Structure 1
């Protein structure tokens, strides 16, 4: 714990990467929305400049095998681009996929060249998740039905707080005395996640944490008893904060714990069924944007994507894309699992599981830049 706390400041290149990964949420805030230049474009340009300077300075891909697998993955996106629906949404989806999403996948191969680079990468991601979590908590007690962050909505807050909770919990699990600042950070993240009412991120954080410990290697140095003790303190903090919780978030959380499903879950189930029914007749895919153009679940109400990454890419870019996506995610999980004997490796593995679960329950393919970066981070570091 002391070694982590005593680490040097996060290098600027990783802060630029973190800013790019979360620019889509940050730019919706009341202050940054006034910028004359789109923040995602600005952050993307900054990251491209960082990568160009590193390349000129002699940096090359940390793993040619991982980079090749990533290139193959993006090649399977091409059939969907060729068959894309003639809509503005489909055009924007293709353009974003082969620019910003691709940049998120390529950057770690240049920036994470050694095992020691993993920690500042994770610190940068945690920093921006902290910014978004604090922004969301500042809105507590203002009469909202659910807490949200930076104008990016409740899911953005849930994802940010969920990862921050994982980050703090796995730091607390290290042997040694409990760090009160880390304990406070983790508690604040847990409260923010509950207040968001976003059930996917909450479930994803719990599953990722449980899976990380279940697959933990013998002698990995995780103080489970200490984590359980801290978990009790965190549960008490969340319980005491419920008096301030937005009523809508409390209702959603309570219904989820009772196993009840609302309109959000029902829509996802209908979208999954409709997508699955079309898969058999679309081996090359419907084209990007095809779900919005071909699937009608609400009698005329347009829904743009099924909120499931695997279903979306398989339906819109074909069977090969779906299979390759599953292969890439599996390979990344295996590589991250091989690093799970160290604290930063466990956070990488838990974060990867967390972002994958979120990608399977919310957003479209381009809403998952943190996932793409974590996949590449795992692939470029490879097995120890």
Structure 2
């Protein structure tokens, strides 16, 4: 949100400021002697070592320096941070509720400091100087958590969570960015379906979660409140996006011919992309997290990230024994899905946080299962030793 008028005059870049703050927190934690998940740290470092193939492919070219620098500083920090800062259950719970608080804060800011041009011309609610995609993503994350909690809690807490879910889902529709809305509509039912916290009420929870999301979105679209025409068309079944489809098609066309990748920021080197986007000063990427890694980082990097996604989702599912851990599952699916619709490997920093958090859950569950099997095997051996002949 650093482009908003309230922050525009700040002499300090907020991304850099909070990046440094997070880095200092990681260093402080590591020096304190407290435990952390060294296995997840090793996995992250190994993956970034493979990302070095994409960096090596840029040697002798005049591209990719800035993207590579971000990848090995701020993005790496976001991937390593959870291994230490989210190592405890208390920190993970705080992270969940901070996602809701952040979404509500951005929602209020969007209403109070809306961009007049975006509202009057495009019927899209947004904060002046910011990206609609970024705004919708943050609010959508709060909507995911609130929708899942609505389905799994009771009493007054359910009413509170339902109010937050309806409010945030309605604002996502009014911001008019389709990617976050699609991710929201996908994350809530999938999380409720896969959760281990259902205990026989899977159908009721699924129905409630789906109703909250769809009814909230439909109510805004059918009301007299201004909303994006793109969202109306999407909800009516129109999912075409010629610009995004062209980017995805070009990305798919070069993967098979470049096993080592084109190098970071190499997507712009594709002839068709150069022709269509010549002179554009904004970075060009496939708007799909996984495809971008395959195209620019190579087959090995893409395959490892696919494995990371699978293990991360598995870890979230294995951990989903309570309403809060199910909400974390929904949040993980949401950010993984959101990364497939927009931004690049560096812009999807929260996706990296959630991917590594899910990996930590998976490694912990696997360690506990192995320990339980070892204890069980030891008990069987001990029983045989004391059993009479």
TM-score range, shorter chain: 0.7 to 0.9
Cα distance in 1 for residues equivalent to 2:290 and 2:212: 37
Aligned to 1:374: 354
1:105 has 2:79 as partner: yes
Structure 1 alignment gaps of length 5 or more? 1-25
**1:236, distance to aligned residue in structure 2 (A):** 5.8
CA gap of 1:345–1:71, structure 2 versus 1, over 3 A, is same
Cα distance in 2 for residues equivalent to 1:140 and 1:228: 36
Aligned-partner SS, 2:238: coil
The 5 Å alignment of 1:276-295 reads 276-295=252-271
Aligned to 2:337: 357
The 5 Å alignment of 1:321-336 reads 321-336=301-316
Q: 2:276 aligns with which of 281, 300, 310?
A: 300
Moved more, 158-167 or 230-239: 230-239
Moved more, 229-238 or 301-310: 229-238
Cα distance in 2 for residues equivalent to 1:220 and 1:298: 54
Does the 8 A contact of 2:188 with 2:330 survive in 1? yes
Aligned to 2:8: 33
Does the 8 A contact of 1:183 with 1:230 survive in 2? no
Does the 8 A contact of 1:80 with 1:318 survive in 2? yes
Cα distance in 1 for residues equivalent to 2:216 and 2:325: 28
Aligned to 2:143: 165
CA gap of 1:244–1:40, structure 2 versus 1, over 3 A, is farther
Cα distance in 1 for residues equivalent to 2:77 and 2:37: 16
- Bigger Rg, structure 1 or 2: 2
CA gap of 1:169–1:240, structure 2 versus 1, over 3 A, is closer
**1:219, distance to aligned residue in structure 2 (A):** 4.5
Q: 1:206 aligns with which of 166, 180, 185?
A: 185
Structure 2 alignment gaps of length 5 or more? 366-389
The 5 Å alignment of 1:312-327 reads 312-327=292-307
Aligned-partner SS, 1:325: helix
Cα distance in 2 for residues equivalent to 1:284 and 1:316: 8
Give the total of aligned pairs.
353
**1:207, distance to aligned residue in structure 2 (A):** 1.0
Aligned-partner SS, 1:286: coil
Aligned-partner SS, 1:367: coil
Aligned-partner SS, 1:173: helix
Cα distance in 1 for residues equivalent to 2:139 and 2:263: 34
Cα distance in 2 for residues equivalent to 1:240 and 1:257: 12
1:143 has 2:127 as partner: no
Cα distance in 1 for residues equivalent to 2:296 and 2:111: 37
Q: 2:20 aligns with which of 28, 37, 45?
A: 45
CA gap of 1:230–1:355, structure 2 versus 1, over 3 A, is closer
1:217 has 2:191 as partner: no
Moved more, 127-136 or 174-183: 174-183
CA gap of 1:152–1:87, structure 2 versus 1, over 3 A, is farther
Aligned to 2:249: 273
Instruction: Report the RMSD for the aligned CA atoms in angstroms.
Output: 2.5
Which structure is richer in relative contact order (CA contacts within 8 A, separation 6 or more)?
A: 1
CA gap of 1:221–1:58, structure 2 versus 1, over 3 A, is farther
Aligned-partner SS, 2:245: helix
CA gap of 1:381–1:150, structure 2 versus 1, over 3 A, is farther
Aligned-partner SS, 1:365: coil
CA gap of 1:252–1:91, structure 2 versus 1, over 3 A, is same
State the 4+ residue runs in structure 1 displaced beyond 6 angstroms.
none
TM-score, normalising length: structure 2: 0.83
**1:237, distance to aligned residue in structure 2 (A):** 5.6
Aligned-partner SS, 1:284: coil
Does the 8 A contact of 1:172 with 1:227 survive in 2? no
Aligned to 1:21: none
